[in-house]
Amino acid sequence: MQYEQTKAYLLKNKKRWVVTGAAGFIGSNLVEALLKLKQSVIGLDNFSTGHRYNLEHIKASVTKEQWSNFNFIEGDIVNYETCKDITNNVDIILHQAALGSVPRSIDNPILTNHNNVTGFLNMLTAAKENSVKRFVFASSSSVYGDSKELPKVEDRTGNLLSPYAVTKYVNELYMGVFEKCYGMEAIGLRYFNVFGKRQDPNGAYAAVMPKWIGQILKGEDVFINGDGETSRDFTYIDNVVQANILAGTTTNEKAFGQAFNTAIGGRETLNNLYNAIVEGIKENLPDLEIKKPIYRDFRAGDIRHSNANIDKMQKLLGYEPTHTLESGLKESIAWYIQDTKRRNSNEQ
């Protein structure tokens, strides 16, 4: 398996990485994985959506020697000088910092554009100026817009449905231009509904998976948008970490300037997801009383179905998902239950 070979190589060859959004959900998991591979990592975050406790989780999960290879900087990608400073003498950039959420972008398109386009261009330009050849970034399945084709294939997209989708599509356009004009080895990863440990269950723009798990554990009402037959390609965080590391280290020139679906390659409805979460929680907490979900209107800007064709990433990067929805959900529920217990004990 390509990923196992890549990890074995990295354990013997230390590279210098930058991870933006390092205190966020995906960013913190990337930092942890890289430190465990004995890599040198610079992390950047402004804590607009990331959390300091995620950095503490990383510290607790790695050795003291591994932690010493991590240099965290509190800063913002909208500041070009900050971008220039952190990309100096670096081998690989994993750019995760962004303002996520389709609803948030509809509420505040200017702020979303400022972070996701201006901030992205700052990082891309800083990488060019500092001669960083490899630039991997978080794109999104939202670029498929209203395309009804299933599964989604990278070179066929539809009309965009939200400002957030526009910003991610613009990122991909810049990637192609920088690859052609400056020879940058840029790769975009179109994330499909990523879930897993450290994903924030709180706030108005929380993703559905952690939000539902958190609400059920607290005995709160759970809301399902629409009829619950909306489907998504839910993708466990370990698969996304694999995709980033493979993209960051690949020697396949055909991958440069390309966007890749980053997913499992399946889909599940919200109704089935809710039932699976309930079953998973009951296995751990059989006495917990769980309410029936409440259905409400469809959410503006949402696509109806999402399912990725992952052939391109498998062929060009050697990607092979290690976690299904079921196995990822099992690990996620166990983590959230333990995290809830930890938080409750800290508050006492």
Pick the catalytic residue from 164, 236, 319, 336.
164
70-74 and 194-195 as β-strands: parallel, antiparallel, unpaired? unpaired
Active site residue 164: yes
Reported for 278-286, long-range contacts at CB under 8 A and 24+ positions apart, including other chains, are: 278/216, 280/329, 280/330, 280/333, 281/213, 281/216, 281/217, 281/333, 281/337, 284/333, 284/334, 284/337, 285/217, 285/337
- The structure tokens listed for 110 are 């200017």
Task: Give me the active site residues, please.
Answer: 164
